[in-house]
Amino acid sequence: MQPGPFDTPLYFSEGLTAFVASNFRGKSSVLELVTWCLRGTRRDVLKARVRRWLRHVDLDATVAGTPMAFRLDLTDGEIAAAVVLTGPDITALEEVRVPDPDRGITPLLRAASTASYAEQIAGLMLGRMDLQPLLNSRKETSTTTHGWPSYFGAIYLPTGADKPLMGDVMTDGLPGRLLQVFLDLPAAAALTRVKTVHDVRVAGNKARRKEAEEAAAARTTERVRLQSELGKAQDLLASLSPSGTSEVSLADLAHTTMDLAQAVADAQDIWEEADRTFRRARTERQHAAKLLNDVTESATARLLFHGLNPTSCPRCDQSIDDERRREERQAHTCAVCTREVVGDDEDPQAVTAEAEIRLEATTAAEEAAKTEREQARADVRQLTGQLEEAQAELRRAQSAADLPARLAAHEAVLRLEGALSVMEAPQETPPDEAEEKAIRILAAAAGLLERDSKAAATQLFKEINEEIASLAIRFGLPSLESVSIDRAARLKIYPVGSPQEWFQDQTAGEKLRLRVAVAIALLRIGRRNGVSTHPGLLLIDSPKSEEMQSADAHKLFRELAAVAADNELQVLLTTADFDLANATLPKDTIRQAAEGAPLW
């Protein structure tokens, strides 16, 4: 870059635009700045020193038919203020950086930080392009959400060395999910969400049953121990004969033993109350976790979040059955009055955040109750030990042996009988019928969606395989006979006269050409079937650097320009090969700097 201030406008062609400049002269930075504006989050390859040169970044684009002006104000390489404007047409937005209601220019979002801009752009772009976040279960205990940045990985093509065929993330099955969404397989996003929620709820239900079984087993073990000790104490008491004499010291010891026995009984009561408190706290925490899951998944749950949740009618005490609860979730009607739940779900993040705070509070309460329970249990054990020591001392201090031993045995019997009386025999925990029913419904829904998706995929995948093979041959893979892509975005390659190969086995240049072919095939099939889920934009950085011969690069550039012009596809690519660009591309598609000079 040249020293001093700069203000460089760059205009993009409707089809292909090639940025041509020497190496390290700003070509890739253009793609990265476009990415920052559209993706909401910048990529790590956008160097900090480049960001610190910038004070303002403006981008005008049409997104899903809506003219948008992205305006970023930067300080020290981070967003200090940002606004996205819309207006009557893209021309009206040129040179405009603030809203102008008189001209019909209004803001779609405002942000005051890098994080705020990223969050708001993600929501804006998903909404405008009618895309849903991709959910995935994490170890069957929680969910992870992949939003707009994951979709953008199918726009900015990875380098040849990267593994994914689509997108830039291999985990959570994202390449296949992107493929299914862009093919508009019936209910692809809904299928993912249903399966994820099903897996998490199944795991949670199993964990709750296991916890109840372990608690019942521990209680049974404790009762068996107490019954065994009680039998021994009763046998000892029966074998002892009453003593006719006693001394003052023995009476004092006996009194102390009685006091300790009472203290043990009181401590046992405290422990039982602490145990009940802990179980209530655990139930409240589980309810808060379920509530968080509900408000995350359901706008109705968020609207009713701050309302009461009665179990019966406040007037006639008629219980509110599961049917009404289901109608509330599915048909958005109040479970109490059956009226439709209406309202604006304008701030789902606040509801979700409050639900998360409730979960944190109930989790803390559960931990505190658990600590109190353990302390109460420790007190019982300590007092029990003191009682046993007092009883032993009483036995040692007695002269005739009968009275102290009988007192001790009697106290032991009373203590053990008291412990058994408050420790009820464990009962089998009944299944959560509502949860079991919800899991069955989710499983059935997932099965139906899966069948619909597979049925629709058969013809679509035949068409897309033919398109990919045709395009890849045009892009410089003449030895290719056919390809086969599956719903997980795994691509099989069938060279002429050779065994089948996989996408990951190809060279970097071959991978790039196949990725471009897949993206354009998705766009073509989408247009043919009336599907508009693919954004229609591709960013390709230095394709010739991917182990590509000059002849192949000439063919790829020429075909890319033709395909982009024919398919309403906008392609932004960079190259340092001046001869290649000028020999293969129309002049009006080239944005070129002098050799050695900066592009902007």
- Tens digit of pLDDT for each residue in 434-471? 888 888 888 888 777 777 666 666 777 888 899 899 98
Judge contact between 260 and 383, C-beta under 8 A. yes
Annotate 571-596 with b (16+ C-beta within 10 A) or e (fewer): bbbbbbbbebbeebbeeebbbbbeee
As a whole number, the mean pLDDT across the chain is: 82
Q: How much is the average pLDDT of 478-503?
A: 91
Q: Which 3 state secondary structure label does DSSP give 493? A: strand
Is 313 or 286 the better-scoring residue by pLDDT?
286
**pLDDT the model gives residue 418:** 83
Residue 393: pLDDT above 70? Answer: yes
DSSP-assigned states of every residue in 388-407 = HHHHHHHHHH-SSSHHHHHH
Residue 369: pLDDT above 60? Answer: yes
Judge contact between 179 and 487, C-beta under 8 A. yes
Check residue 173 and give left, alpha or beta (phi > 0: left; psi -120 to 50: alpha). Answer: left
Judge contact between 105 and 80, C-beta under 8 A. no
**pLDDT the model gives residue 342:** 64
**pLDDT the model gives residue 548:** 67
Q: How much is the average pLDDT of 530-540?
A: 77
Q: Which 3 state secondary structure label does DSSP give 21? A: coil
Residue 304: pLDDT above 60? Answer: no
Amino acid at 253: L
Q: How much is the average pLDDT of 277-303?
A: 80
Tokens standing for residue 264 = 């043990």
What is the C-alpha separation between 189 and 88, in angstroms, rounded? 32
Instruction: Give 293-301 contacts, CB < 8 A, sequence gap 24+.
Output: 293/197, 293/200, 294/329, 295/348, 295/351, 295/352, 295/355, 296/143, 296/352, 296/355, 297/193, 297/197, 298/329, 299/345, 299/348, 300/328, 300/329, 300/332, 300/341, 301/329
Q: How much is the average pLDDT of 315-325?
A: 71
Q: How much is the average pLDDT of 479-507?
A: 91
pLDDT band, very low/low/confident/very high, at 245 (cuts 50, 70, 90): very low
Closest CA to 153 of 534, 484, 486: 534
What is the C-alpha separation between 531 and 16, in angstroms, rounded? 22
Closest CA to 479 of 453, 435, 510: 510
Q: How many helices (H) and strands (E) does the chain have?
A: 15, 13
Annotate 301-321 with b (16+ C-beta within 10 A) or e (fewer): bbbbbeeeeeeeeeeeeeeee
Q: Which 3 state secondary structure label does DSSP give 441? A: helix
What share of the chain in percent tops pLDDT 70? 83
CA dihedral 358→361→366→369, nearest 10 degrees, is -140
pLDDT band, very low/low/confident/very high, at 248 (cuts 50, 70, 90): very low
Is 219 or 363 the better-scoring residue by pLDDT?
363
**pLDDT the model gives residue 249:** 59
Tokens 């395909």 belong to 563
Helix/strand/coil percent split, the chain, to 5: 55, 15, 30
Q: Is the dihedral of CA 534, 530, 121, 346 positive or negative?
A: negative
What is the C-alpha separation between 467 and 521, in angstroms, rounded? 5
**pLDDT the model gives residue 282:** 92
What secondary structure letter does DSSP report for 336? T
**pLDDT the model gives residue 105:** 96
pLDDT band, very low/low/confident/very high, at 582 (cuts 50, 70, 90): very high
pLDDT band, very low/low/confident/very high, at 232 (cuts 50, 70, 90): confident
pLDDT band, very low/low/confident/very high, at 399 (cuts 50, 70, 90): very low
**pLDDT the model gives residue 207:** 80
**pLDDT the model gives residue 426:** 72
pLDDT band, very low/low/confident/very high, at 247 (cuts 50, 70, 90): very low
From the centroid of its chain, how far is CA 409? Answer: 61
Residue 246: pLDDT above 50? Answer: no
Q: What Rg value do the Cα atoms of the chain yield, rounded?
A: 36
Amino acid at 295: V
Q: Which residues pair with 84 in a beta bridge?
A: 70, 109
**pLDDT the model gives residue 87:** 95
Judge contact between 13 and 565, C-beta under 8 A. no
Amino acid at 273: E
**pLDDT the model gives residue 238:** 78
**Residue 409, H or E segment:** helix 402-422
- How far the first Cα of the chain sits from its last, in Å, is 8
Residue 14: pLDDT above 90? Answer: no
Judge contact between 93 and 87, C-beta under 8 A. yes
Q: Note the pTM of the prediction, 2 decimals.
A: 0.56
Q: How much is the average pLDDT of 13-21?
A: 92
**pLDDT the model gives residue 39:** 94
**pLDDT the model gives residue 73:** 97
Judge contact between 120 and 148, C-beta under 8 A. no
Is 330 or 595 the better-scoring residue by pLDDT?
595
Is 111 or 355 the better-scoring residue by pLDDT?
111
Q: Which residues pair with 156 in a beta bridge?
A: 539
Tell me the pLDDT tens digit for each residue of 337-348.
766 666 656 677
Residue 151: pLDDT above 50? Answer: yes
**pLDDT the model gives residue 444:** 85
Q: Is the dihedral of CA 368, 374, 377, 382 positive or negative?
A: negative
> Could you give phi then psi for residue 519, rounded to 5 degrees?
-60, -45
Q: How much is the average pLDDT of 349-373?
A: 88
Residue 514: pLDDT above 80? Answer: yes
Residue 158: pLDDT above 90? Answer: no
Is 181 or 157 the better-scoring residue by pLDDT?
157
What crossing angle do the helices spanning 27-39 and 114-128 adopt, rounded to 10°? Answer: 70
Q: How much is the average pLDDT of 570-598?
A: 92
**pLDDT the model gives residue 396:** 67
**Residue 296, H or E segment:** helix 248-297
Residue 493: pLDDT above 50? Answer: yes
pLDDT band, very low/low/confident/very high, at 139 (cuts 50, 70, 90): low
pLDDT band, very low/low/confident/very high, at 140 (cuts 50, 70, 90): low
Tell how strand 106-111 and strand 78-86 pair up: antiparallel
Residue 40: pLDDT above 90? Answer: yes
pLDDT band, very low/low/confident/very high, at 256 (cuts 50, 70, 90): confident
Q: Which 3 state secondary structure label does DSSP give 22? A: coil
Tell me the pLDDT tens digit for each residue of 180-191.
777 665 455 666
Q: Which residues pair with 106 in a beta bridge?
A: 86
Burial class of residue 459 (count of CB atoms within 10 Å of its CB; 0-12, 13-18, 19+): exposed
**pLDDT the model gives residue 115:** 95
Q: Which 3 state secondary structure label does DSSP give 380? A: helix
**pLDDT the model gives residue 328:** 66
**pLDDT the model gives residue 351:** 75
DSSP-assigned states of every residue in 444-473 = HHHHHHHHHHHHHHHHHHHHHHHHHHHHHH
Tell me the pLDDT tens digit for each residue of 49-91.
888 889 999 999 999 889 999 999 999 999 999 999 999 999 9
**pLDDT the model gives residue 147:** 85
CA dihedral 519→520→526→527, nearest 10 degrees, is 160
Judge contact between 128 and 64, C-beta under 8 A. yes
